[in-house]
Amino acid sequence: MTDTASDITRRLGREAEAVCRHYLSNGRKQGRYWIVGDARNTPGRSLYVRLTGPAHGPGAAGKWADAATGEHGDLLDLIASARHLQSLGETLDEARRFLSLPRPEPPRRARQSAPAGSPEAARRLFAMGRPISGTLAERYLHRRGLAALGDAPALRFHPHCYYWREGQPKEALPETWPALLAKVTDGHGNLTGIHRTWLDPATARKAPLDPPRKAMGNLLGHGVRIGAATDILAAGEGLESTLSLRMGLPDLPVIAALSANHLAALILPAGLRRLYIAADADEAGAMAADKLTERADAVGIETIRFAPLGDDFNEDLRKLGRDKLRVHLSQQLATADLSRLLFCDP
């Protein structure tokens, strides 16, 4: 029978100290933990691996956390980092070698790889991510003033996301960087694409890449949704700017179209009566807002424009703070929305 990743993780947990001595040889045992600098076996004391505990769940043997970066995971993650492995299959093969387990027979019909940049490739990548709580992605958002999002289901973290530089030869190996993943969905909740923001683990800022953000899949007309649209919705451009609206008005459903052009082409959901348009304060944003207003007017949807004080609403959030941003936004709300969006717990 083929061992699953969860089976192998439990087997590794039973041999947690031996795994650490083999893959994290620059560390040392201290009480119930193995201590080392990071998951790449750097000397130091930032990363703690639990050596004893239950087979699964909170406190399981093999669970680890890096106090310096906020990353955490299991022993499969450590093996992948220590050996610089690029896929789950390679990692499982390495773990089987360590555990002296036979390699499973290949399936009769190998799973076809998804075309690069396709919605299917986006779905597979997002499925590989983990909730942002306690990760570098959460630290990055905190630096942007976005500190109360919790495990937003549209956001995930990937510790080793591929990055191909512009003009890089196809045969060259990609770099890997931690990344914030944002799920792009249609009006029915189906994933159509994904937006990636690569992060620098040393600073919790965007990675020193050009560009540090890329999208894949079908984005036109869709977006990153936080909260379910009812009869009202706020539509913005960038992810952080749109999330800032949600910070100021937690009961207002929002969608980040991820660019001015995509904001202009947003598919308006059925049943929408009022649309708040939160474009950036530049020429592209103004043109996108005009186009979206024209399309909304044609189907009888009222539009109201949220105007930032700075270039966008994330700049406002970081300069003003959440409470003052809330006041600024409340002054632009329709009278009918005041009670439903303001007179509730912020």
Q: Is it the case that residue 107 has pLDDT exceeding 80?
A: no
The pLDDT assigned to 101 comes to: 82
Confidence of residue 246 (pLDDT cuts 50, 70, 90): very high
The pLDDT assigned to 2 comes to: 47
The pLDDT assigned to 169 comes to: 72
Q: Is it the case that residue 108 has pLDDT exceeding 60?
A: no
- Enter the pTM of the model: 0.67
The pLDDT assigned to 346 comes to: 46
Between 296 and 3, the higher pLDDT residue: 296
Rounded to an integer, the average pLDDT of 245-251 is: 93
The pLDDT assigned to 105 comes to: 60
- The 3-class SS string of the chain reads CCCCHHHHHHHHHHCHHHHHHHHCCCCEEECCEEEECCCCCCCCCCEEEECCCCCCCCCCCCCEEECCCCCEECHHHHHHHHCCCCCHHHHHHHHHHHHCCCCCCCCCCCCCCCCCCCHHHHHHHHHHCECCCCCHHHHHHHHCCCCCCCCCCCEEEEEEEEECCCCCCCCCCCEEEEEEEEEEECCCCCEEEEEEEEEECCCCEECCCCCCEEEEECCCCCEEEECCCCCEEEEECCHHHHHHHHHHCCCCCEEECCCHHHHHCCCCCCCCCEEEEECCCCHHHHHHHHHHHHHHHHCCCEEEECCCCCCCHHHHHHHHCHHHHHHHHHCCCCHHHHHHHHCCCC
Percent of the chain surpassing pLDDT 70? 92
Q: Is it the case that residue 4 has pLDDT exceeding 80?
A: no
Domains (range + CATH), the chain: 7-100 (3.90.580), 119-342 (3.40.1360.10)
Mean pLDDT over the full length of the chain: 89
39-43, 122-126, 179-183: range with highest mean pLDDT:
179-183
Q: Is it the case that residue 1 has pLDDT exceeding 50?
A: no
Confidence of residue 243 (pLDDT cuts 50, 70, 90): very high
Percent of the chain surpassing pLDDT 90? 69
Tens digit of each residue's pLDDT (9 = 90 or more) over 49-87: 999 988 877 788 999 998 888 888 899 999 998 898 878
The pLDDT assigned to 125 comes to: 92
